[in-house]
A and B are shown apart, each in its own frame.
Chain A
Amino acid sequence: MTSSDWLLRVRGLTKIYGQPDADSLANTGPAAATNICPNTGAIVACADISFDLYPGEVLGVVGESGSGKSTLVQLLYFDQEATAGSAHFTALDDGATDLFSLSSQRRRYVRNHLLGMVYQNPRDGLNFNFSAGGNIAEKLIMAGHMHVGNIRQRAGSLLSQTEVPVARMDQTPRNFSGGMQQRVQISKAIANQPPLLFLDEVTSGLDVSVQARVLDLIRQIQSELGISMIVVSHDLGVIRMLTDRTLVLKHGRIVESGLTDQILQDPQHAYTQLLVSSLL
């Protein structure tokens, strides 16, 4: 496989917890209405996920709790080990290498230099023992920046870009509000300008006005930097506002995919219809 026009090509991505048997994949999924294998109790978090992501595109992943949408980005960010499947990323070896075949050192390189992640809970993405500036510095240091003056300048400009008061740069994010913590996390994730950013339920747990500002920020970053993003959310409002294309996940499988507008206007799969009709 070599680079054509896609940025990330995922094929057959599967994650199973526990011991599966030969029929585990057949016995789970939307048709079986479960993701727990009836024979062995293995949990099929996601199975046979295939998609292409194009440069500058924002891909939404939507689904209910336990549908495997967070697992999907955690696999791609190497937080978890994939059971099967491949992912090729044109920023690495022009897309010739499968990300899951990399050594842990190379994975760390990809994570630190080529990817960014914003978790639902700022505690997962930030180290609360370090200051906000220190958290951003960590990402910059991992990417090889060793000049304190430059690091502080970059951290300051990132924080002002994400509307965090620069005066609070040297305080720990523990003392920040939830929205501010999330914005610090976004600053950290985009610190070394990765070509691909994962957003995992970034606005869940924030109140509505703060949600709107965080979404605005993400849209602004996307339009200014042209970063490709995978946005995971259970909230169709977020998906509609941010994404170009959407995957709908249920019981670990893609049940529908297509342009976001199309999916919201004319949902084909019964589950998607349910989702859209439940939208307030």
Chain B
Amino acid sequence: MIENTKFQSAYNFAFLDERTKREIRRKILKAVAVPGYQVPYSSPEMPIARGWGTGGLHITLAIIGREDTLKVIDQGSDASVNACSLRQFIERMTGCATTFDSAAASLIQTRHRIPEEILTEQQILVFQVPQPEILRSVERHENKTRLMHAEADYSKLWVSLYEAYVRYGSLMRGAGYPVRVNGRFMMSPSPIPRWDVPNLSGARCLYLFGAGREKRIYAVPPHTTVEPLEFEDVRFRVEDWHGTLCAYSDQGQAFLDEIYEEDSTRKFVVNDSNFLDKLRGGPRPPQRLFQNPQ
């Protein structure tokens, strides 16, 4: 019988070994110190394929503690397959408490959404990022994009925005709208809708971004300015549903999903599942809303 407690379980706490965690934590510290800068990291093998949320998983596992309460959301939902699998995996590897409640969680891993409810100083939001390089759409070569970041040369990105406006009459970027962090680095906010972008700026919580396949970590510390790119006369706007209300809660002022029924009628539903539950069960949780410019 093995008496040493160290070997009583098959895995280390939170799956990753302590040296790997330390490496990732070091990279996170650097990312927080230089907001918006992409820090390369090891991106070790995980039991899921790279590109399926490993970046977020690395960060979550590296910073989670035994007292943390975990929430995992995938496109606003706690119940999607991806969210359930990741939550169960982290739960089994750490024994941490889990929750659906955005306010009760101390650590939230997310894909493609920021919870509608205001996050506080006690919370950390970890994003799964498919493509951390915002300049990739205008420049294929990594050595050139790094140089462009180093020299703050973002004219190509601006021109692509100009072109979108000229061609389509609006700054056509649905998800992953380019933002400038702390007046310096252009950053991909991960494919969150424009609706969520204003919530990145001046937030009380810490935002961490992990891109496992691309092996990059970056961060937006609390109370950091994050500006969406806009021209002086063509301004950034969030999605507008023109007063449409959620079919389940009869409320608006939240990111709505458009759902088609089998008889081809459609309805709109609040995307953030926990927010929807709260809207239906009681008072409206605190929320930051962005006013579109006139």
List residues of A whose CB falls within 8 A of some B CB. Answer: 104-105, 108, 127, 130-131, 133-135, 137-138, 141-142, 146-149, 151-152, 170
Contact = CB atoms under 8 A, between A and B. Distances in A.
Contacts of B262: none
Contacts, number: 47
Contacts of B166: 131, 133-134, 152, 170
B100 to A, nearest CB: 43
B173 to A, nearest CB: 15
Given A105-B151, A142-B155, A148 B163 contact: no
Given A104-B151, A147-B232, A138 B159 contact: yes
B151 A148 contact: no
A108 B162 contact: no
B52 interface: no
A78 B101 CA distance: 56
Contacts of A137: 158-159, 162
A131 B161 CA distance: 12
Contact of B158 (A141, A149, A152, A170): A141
B156 interface: yes
B33 interface: no
Contacts of B167: 170
Interface string B184-226: 0000000000000000000000000000000000000000000
Interface of B: 151-153, 155-156, 158-160, 162-163, 165-167, 231-234
A53 to B, nearest CB: 27
A147 B233 contact: yes
14 contacts: A105-B151, A108-B153, A127-B159, A130-B160, A133-B166, A134-B163, A137-B159, A141-B155, A141-B159, A146-B158, A146-B232, A147-B233, A148-B234, A151-B162
Given A137-B159, A141-B158, A146-B231, 8 more contacts: A131-B166, A133-B166, A134-B159, A135-B159, A137-B158, A138-B155, A146-B232, A148-B165
Contacts of B158: 137-138, 141, 146
- B151, B153, B162 interface centre (most CB from chain A within 10 Å): B162
Contacts of A130: 159-160, 163
A148 B233 contact: yes
Nearest to A147: B232
Nearest to A142: B155
A170 B162 CA distance: 11
B162 A141 contact: yes
Nearest to A104: B151
